[in-house]
Amino acid sequence: MGVYFNLGKANNERMNTILYVDDNPQKISSFKEEFSDFKVISFDNPLKASKMAEEIDYDILVLDIMMPFLDGFELLAKMKKLKNYSEQPTFFLSETNDESLMIKALELGVEDLLTADMSWQVKKVRIKSRLTAKKENEIKFNFIDRTVELKGVLVELTTKELQLLHVLSQGEGMNKDDLVAAVWGEGKLMVKNNLSTHISNLNKKIHLINKKIQSRKGIVSLL
């Protein structure tokens, strides 16, 4: 069983990144100034954002609603289909207090509709509080020390266990063939036959961070 212990907050955490899309350059400038403690990657063209966003590592998505070519709702639908989208907390910006927009935004599963009558301080608190909640539930992978950490608990794994957990953490589930190919390489029939043993050994360790790998009907998922 892996060694585990509590950790303090790391001193070298990267700056949180906001992906912000708005067709108004002045609003982009103001947003960057107010969120100077974040790394803000911005686009003033939603079509360009939908094409470029797949290559961006971001923590929060902020979208204006009224934009040419694609409105915020249409852009979000496209973003959700990109390979790097993993349900990042999403906020819409609106210049109005239109209740119908609020309802539509919430029905799409976004965190909040930030309106013009809110102060920048209120907007920052709402965004930061959601980011903190998300980070607390994310597994941190350290491939050098071969460890994973969640909510201050650290577990040591083997290299393959670490890779297996990392692959499964990227999506909702994988079939066994794809999982073996991703971790061990193509054509590893012996590994596939013993995959249940690898999963069992890994589960004995990651229960310490309240995680479990489940295999059902040929699909392997991280719960």
- Region of poorest pLDDT, from 25-39, 50-64, 168-182: 168-182
Residues 147 and 108 in one domain: no
**What pLDDT, on a 0 to 100 scale, did the predictor assign at position 2?**
46
Q: Write out the residue range of the structural domain in which residue 172 sits.
A: 140-222
CATH for 108: 3.40.50.2300
pLDDT tops 90 at residue 87: no
Q: Is 200 exposed, middle or buried (0-12, 13-18, 19+ CB in 10 A)?
A: exposed
Q: For residue 114, tell me if it sits in a domain.
A: yes
Report the length, in residues, of the chain: 223
**What pLDDT, on a 0 to 100 scale, did the predictor assign at position 161?**
93
- The pLDDT > 90 percentage for the chain reads 41
Q: For residue 189, tell me if it sits in a domain.
A: yes
Q: For residue 98, tell me if it sits in a domain.
A: yes
Last residue of a domain, which of 110, 136, 162? 136
Residue 159 to residues 109, 144, 156, 192, 210, Cα–Cα distance (Å): 36, 9, 10, 17, 20
Q: Is 174 exposed, middle or buried (0-12, 13-18, 19+ CB in 10 A)?
A: buried
Q: For residue 55, tell me if it sits in a domain.
A: yes
Q: What is the pTM of this model?
A: 0.59
Count of beta carbons in the 10 Å neighbourhood of residue 57 = 10
pLDDT tops 60 at residue 60: yes
CATH for 211: 1.10.10.10
Q: For residue 91, tell me if it sits in a domain.
A: yes
Classified as helix, coil or strand, 207 is helix
Count of structural domains, the chain: 2
pLDDT band at residue 133 using 50, 70 and 90 as cut-offs: low
First to last CA, the chain: 20
- C-alpha 67/C-alpha 76 separation (Å) is 12
Query: If you average pLDDT over each of 99-113, 162-176, 193-207, which comes out highest?
Result: 193-207
Residues 29 and 130 in one domain: yes
Residues 21 and 128 in one domain: yes
Q: For residue 4, tell me if it sits in a domain.
A: no
**What pLDDT, on a 0 to 100 scale, did the predictor assign at position 51?**
92
Residues 149 and 132 in one domain: no
